[in-house]
Structure 1
Amino acid sequence: MEKQPDYELIERLKAGDNAAFDTFFVKYYQMLCLNAYWFLRNEAEAQDLVQTFFIDIWDKKLYLNLNGDVKGYLHQSVKNRCLNYLRKQKLTREQQEDFSMLQDATDKPPETSPDYIRQLNTTLDDMARQKRAAIHLVYVQGKRYQEAADEMGISLNSFKTHLKRGLKLLRHAIIQK
């Protein structure tokens, strides 16, 4: 089978030739899997990501927007998907860690002595305004992170940083009690 230039494959795809997609897949699958593996360091995840990418190309008809040599586009698209995947994994890990810490804290019987409450209130009062607001919006008012961030007029990531730092200060104050 002779190597067919990308522009010909793309034209055949646009014309509705299913065999052109198979050729396109075979031509780039291995290279894109290696590319994804370089970022993910997991062969199965890399293959899944690349297969999902090809499914999107077909289902969403992304090939209609392709022109000429597509190797660079494919490489960059897989790279972006890998980076997004890694970001999502990191966020999931952080949320699981936060949940574990909260779970550990809720497993202990609540402390209600006047000294404990005074220490808690003093720590909250001494805390920077945005950290205190972040804790109040989430834990007192029960708002979701995005809602609270919008109300404070800051980005979601900034909000998470304020909340995380505020909780760290509270934990430190409670432990030192």
Structure 2
Amino acid sequence: MNSKDLIILAKLKSGDPAAYKELFDLYYIPLSIYALKYCDSFQLSEDIVQDLFVKLWDEKIYMKFEGAISPYLFKSVKNNTLQAVKKKSKYHFEEIEDQINNLMEVENVDMVSIEEKKKKLLKEVEALPEKSKEVFKAIVLENLKYKEVAKQFGISVNTVKTHYSRALKKLRGSLDVIIMLLLI
């Protein structure tokens, strides 16, 4: 259980609106990447995560939790992404669901193999095109926001998102490791 979850949840329940931003900042990028495990669109994954946070705030869903909120967030993103894919998909949904069930769940990551996967990820990152590599490292390894990366490289936020999206598509097989890096 993530202790940050419990602290943020306690602040939310006590009425601290800054806690909502803390929760958003902590989980927005990991949840967006997690959604990519189930869809091919970074834009769709971001939309799903943003909608979840709006619902979380509007309906004060956080008031119902006693323990960590992260399992709810990840499960909701998975379910909402599957629903979106089902609506947009031309393929038979059972085939997609079978493929998804074969993917590694973020909650069940084997910590022993994380180091091996991390080494593999770093090799894959080094093979990325230069700009995508720089943007990816800034967001994931340096934990910078899109605006900060845009300013650092003198490019627009949309260009940052494009480079980041391209990097994530090439690193699709390592998304579980990327999520773990972002949450640690």
What is the TM-score of this pair, normalised by structure 1? 0.47
Greater length-normalized contact order (CA 8 Å, ≥ 6 residues apart): 2
Which structure would you say has the larger Rg? Answer: 1
What is the TM-score of this pair, normalised by structure 2? 0.46
